[in-house]
A and B are shown apart, each in its own frame.
Chain A
Amino acid sequence: MSGTSTIPDPGLEDATRSEASLRRFLHGLPGVDQVGAEARAAGLGTRSIKTSAKEFALDLAIRMVDLTTLEGQDTPGKVRALASKAMRPDPADPSCPSVAAVCVYPDMVATVKDTLGAAGGASGVHVAAVATAFPSGRAALDVKLADTRDAVEAGADEIDMVIDRGAFLSGRYQQVFDEIVATKRACARPSGDDAHLKVILETGELQTYDNVRRASWLAMMAGADFIKTSTGKVQPAATLPVTMIMLEAVRDFREQTGQMVGVKPAGGIRTAKDAIKYLVTVNEVAGQDWLDPDWFRFGASTLLNDLLMQRTKMRTGRYSGPDYFTLD
């Protein structure tokens, strides 16, 4: 990933100057017609991806997975198992690529680092940590920032923060903006090797596509490296239309500022078939520049095994039972 600038683009400086100008800008974005947006997403979902295109898509999807466990019951043992799987998703097939990252709570970052490091650290798998009082974001700003700094100090490469949906829904856009900017600063390291910031919008709580578009722009203007749909703790989590709206936002943002921002749907994507629909949407809405783990991720856990099963099926012509794939 790149795009470490925390400074809003000069072209958008006016928009972020005050609460009032921020509101004017966000409310001036073109609206989203719900029926039309959902029809478009459904249309993209009917693309038929077969043979060589499917092989390409499955490998790409595996490389885009942020393999995630965010449970109160997580233990070092569980997290080590997950990290091992992230490096070698299919132990039976060395040609199978590793996933993009392992996503855990901050206190598990060190465990993941150790496991990746013990294997030589050459897998390229990143460590992502959720922070800022995930998943609700209901804490004082200094607590959220301390949470973030903890994760960064423990060695997280990527921070997945949540926005304050209460502030957003009550129209306090400046507060949401400032919190993202502050979290971005907390991602900084003296070495200059800053952690990348993914901003979770929790679209299931924002409810409308207009809100999703506004929140996307707000996060991008505040310096997000990635915008992410959901925590996975709220239903609905990622949906294809919501992801499409966010892909339109990053596409339009690059058009206006020249800066690329990544997109991460998370939660609810469980099958290879669904993942391929998302990749088609990336391809046709944002464009093929985003078809890269640096710019598009899937936040998922069960998805990975279905991708592996489909991949094996493509190679052998046979479906294998679930016991031929590792449980994490």
Chain B
Amino acid sequence: MGFEYAPAPESRSIVDIKPSYGLFVNGEFVDGHGKSFKTISPATEEVLAEVAEADESDVDAAVKAARRAYEKVWGPMPGRERAKYLYRIARIIQERSRELAVLESLDNGKPIKESRDVDVPTVAAHFFYYAGWADKLEYAGRGADPRPLGVAGQVIPWNFPLLMLAWKIAPALACGNTVVLKPAETTPLTALLFAEICQQADLPPGVVNIVTGAGATGQALVGHAGVDKVAFTGSTEVGKAIARAVAGTDKKVTLELGGKAANVVFDDAPLDQAVEGIVNGIFFNQGHVCCAGSRLLVQESVADELLAKLKRRMSTLRVGDPLDKNTDIGAINSAEQLAKIRDLSEIGESEGAGRWSPACDLPTTGFWFPPTLFTGVSQAHRIAREEIFGPVLSVLTFRTPSEAVEKANNTPYGLSAGVWTEKGSRILSMANQLRAGVVWANTFNKFDPTSPFGGFKESGYGREGGRHGLEAYLK
């Protein structure tokens, strides 16, 4: 006689997916010259749509359209007028939020409760926030007359397709730049719906261009001579290639790359909330989060108690249909990513770490991985060093605050960190010592458009969000 939650699926009828999509160039959808590719739902492997691939000539046309729009329309336009367009886009995003959320969950595999309650509201908030900056740029601390850079070439990942689009496009447009954006190959659909929203908002043609495709399309965009600014979010490996490609040019670059964040739990932490923060830190968005708290550093004196609580909590996580409103963990985004998660997890086991997952029934089609934790992990294990980018947590212990800092910083990455303690002074001291762009105290994975986000070391450079985020798009 258990309390079994009946299926509560969000209806997908709200979104009208076309059988095929072209590129969005100069305000219109046009055919691409490359081979088209299929985008699938990772939860069912069902083909959602056929999407055009942009080749070099398509990218060139998009960059030229962006250049024209920059020189003739968007660059000269007063900030308060640009703001009107951005506010309009933000409002349309709110009006069409259900549609965007359903499409995001279908194409990406993330649970509807996250796309509905986190991704889409944060997207709208980002546009509202930067709309507010558009006519106040002279107060941004960049001098009396800050100027836009020109055409921005932007390449974004598949983990937060629409949110990363907002992080890239909103500040660029607010500052007077025009953009050519390439969404990830596996998740192009919400960017294409965003293109429709640009049309609906009467955004002048060429201000936003969307070119779909895989790595080669991204390379063509980043390497195009007409691009003044490159912004990339994705893997460290590709980030390094981009840095090499633009070296020696006068392109400005911001990179937001991988992470292996430490979530540090002290013995005086609020344990039940720390458990929530750990779960949110690593299982939010199936762990496909560059700032995921993938290393749990717990003080030895509370390690057993905390792990018992964590395991009990993990047993209540509901894995399954991304469109079910009660789903906590959705599908892994692609077969390729699933293979990588499996590989690294097997390596973790063979290196001697203890693997544990709660009992859970995984669907038979689609790409799925259960929430997993590894205990007895040391700094020497690959699962403590390499970014897994999946729902896999490595648990390490420490004895003293200095040991916690040492271990937390002992990584090539430095995107984020978490500190759990009821002692305010310890939070401040840890925040000063942790080499990470964001340090969360008694929370994790909180995003706000007013707060800058970015990395140390191999996690990249430049900041997105807040006043700092304007610097990347102004000279």
**B5 x A33 contact (CB < 8 A):** no
Report if A154 contacts B (CB, 8 A): no
**B273 x A33 contact (CB < 8 A):** yes
**A36 x B5 contact (CB < 8 A):** no
**B4 x A52 contact (CB < 8 A):** yes
Which B residues are CB-close (under 8 A) to A47? Answer: 5, 325-326
Q: In the complex where A35-B442, A40-B276 touch, is A30 in contact with B269 (Cβ < 8 A)?
A: yes
CB distance from A255 to the nearest CB of B (A): 8
- Cα–Cα distance between A255 and B304 once the two chains are bound (Å): 13
CB distance from B4 to the nearest CB of A (A): 6
Which A residues are CB-close (under 8 A) to B271? Answer: 30
Q: In the complex where A33-B442, A35-B442, A35-B443 touch, is A283 in contact with B270 (Cβ < 8 A)?
A: no
CB distance from B101 to the nearest CB of A (A): 14
Contact bitstring B394-412, A, C-beta under 8 A = 1, else 0: 0000000000000000000
Count of A-B contacts judged by CB separation below 8 Å: 70
Of B3, B113, B422, B443, which contacts A53 at CB under 8 A? Answer: B3
Which A residues are CB-close (under 8 A) to B316? Answer: 284
Contact bitstring A210-241, B, C-beta under 8 A = 1, else 0: 00000000000000000000000000000000
Report if A125 contacts B (CB, 8 A): no
**A32 x B270 contact (CB < 8 A):** yes
Of B325, B326, B442, which contacts A36 at CB under 8 A? Answer: B442
Which B residues are CB-close (under 8 A) to A46? Answer: 113, 117, 325
Report if A324 contacts B (CB, 8 A): no
Report if B6 contacts A (CB, 8 A): yes
Report if B95 contacts A (CB, 8 A): no
Within 8 A of B (CB), among A23-81: 30-33, 35-37, 39-40, 46-54, 56-57, 60
Which A residues are CB-close (under 8 A) to B4? Answer: 52-53, 56
Which B residues are CB-close (under 8 A) to A175? Answer: none
Q: In the complex where A31-B268, A36-B442 touch, is A291 in contact with B3 (Cβ < 8 A)?
A: yes
The majority secondary structure among interface residues of chain A is helix
**A36 x B273 contact (CB < 8 A):** yes
Which A residues are CB-close (under 8 A) to B428? Answer: none
Contact bitstring B421-445, A, C-beta under 8 A = 1, else 0: 0100000000000000000001100
Count, chain A residues at interface, CB 8 A: 29
Which B residues are CB-close (under 8 A) to A33? Answer: 270, 273, 422, 442
Within 8 A of A (CB), among B89-121: 113, 117
Q: In the complex where A46-B113, A48-B326, A284-B316 touch, is A32 in contact with B3 (Cβ < 8 A)?
A: no
CB distance from A103 to the nearest CB of B (A): 25
**B276 x A39 contact (CB < 8 A):** yes
- Cα–Cα distance between A57 and B8 once the two chains are bound (Å): 15
Report if A248 contacts B (CB, 8 A): yes
Report if A108 contacts B (CB, 8 A): no
Report if B351 contacts A (CB, 8 A): no
CB distance from A152 to the nearest CB of B (A): 32
CB distance from B420 to the nearest CB of A (A): 8
**A30 x B8 contact (CB < 8 A):** no
Within 8 A of B (CB), among A279-328: 279-280, 283-284, 288, 291
**A52 x B6 contact (CB < 8 A):** yes
**B6 x A30 contact (CB < 8 A):** no
- Cα–Cα distance between A283 and B276 once the two chains are bound (Å): 16
CB distance from B277 to the nearest CB of A (A): 7
- Cα–Cα distance between A54 and B7 once the two chains are bound (Å): 11
Which B residues are CB-close (under 8 A) to A54? Answer: 6
- Cα–Cα distance between A283 and B315 once the two chains are bound (Å): 12
**A36 x B270 contact (CB < 8 A):** yes
Report if B272 contacts A (CB, 8 A): yes
Q: Which residue of chain A lies nearest to B325 when distances are taken between CB atoms in the complex?
A: A48
- Cα–Cα distance between A60 and B443 once the two chains are bound (Å): 35
**B3 x A248 contact (CB < 8 A):** no
Report if B2 contacts A (CB, 8 A): yes
Within 8 A of A (CB), among B1-42: 2-8
CB distance from B198 to the nearest CB of A (A): 31
- Cα–Cα distance between A51 and B7 once the two chains are bound (Å): 9
CB distance from B278 to the nearest CB of A (A): 11
CB distance from B7 to the nearest CB of A (A): 8
**A279 x B3 contact (CB < 8 A):** yes
Which B residues are CB-close (under 8 A) to A283? Answer: 3
**A57 x B3 contact (CB < 8 A):** yes
**B443 x A36 contact (CB < 8 A):** yes
Which A residues are CB-close (under 8 A) to B268? Answer: 30-31
Counting chain B CB atoms within 10 Å of each CB, which of A31, A49, A248, A280 scores highest?
A31
Contact bitstring B307-329, A, C-beta under 8 A = 1, else 0: 01000000010000000011000
- Cα–Cα distance between A52 and B8 once the two chains are bound (Å): 11
Counting chain B CB atoms within 10 Å of each CB, which of A30, A46, A50, A288 scores highest?
A30
- Cα–Cα distance between A280 and B443 once the two chains are bound (Å): 23
Q: Which residue of chain B lies nearest to A54 when distances are taken between CB atoms in the complex?
A: B6
**B5 x A53 contact (CB < 8 A):** yes
Within 8 A of A (CB), among B129-177: none
Within 8 A of A (CB), among B161-203: none
Of B7, B113, B273, which contacts A40 at CB under 8 A? Answer: B273
On A, residues with C-beta under 8 Å from B are: 30-33, 35-37, 39-40, 46-54, 56-57, 60, 248, 255, 279-280, 283-284, 288, 291
9 A–B pairs (Cβ distance < 8 Å), ordered by A: A30-B272, A33-B422, A36-B270, A36-B273, A47-B5, A47-B326, A53-B6, A56-B3, A255-B308
On B, residues with C-beta under 8 Å from A are: 2-8, 113, 117, 268-273, 276-277, 308, 316, 325-326, 422, 442-443
Known: A39-B276, A40-B272, A291-B3. 18 other contacts (CB 8 A): A30-B268, A30-B272, A33-B442, A35-B443, A36-B276, A36-B442, A46-B117, A47-B325, A47-B326, A48-B8, A48-B325, A49-B5, A52-B4, A54-B6, A60-B3, A279-B3, A284-B316, A288-B2
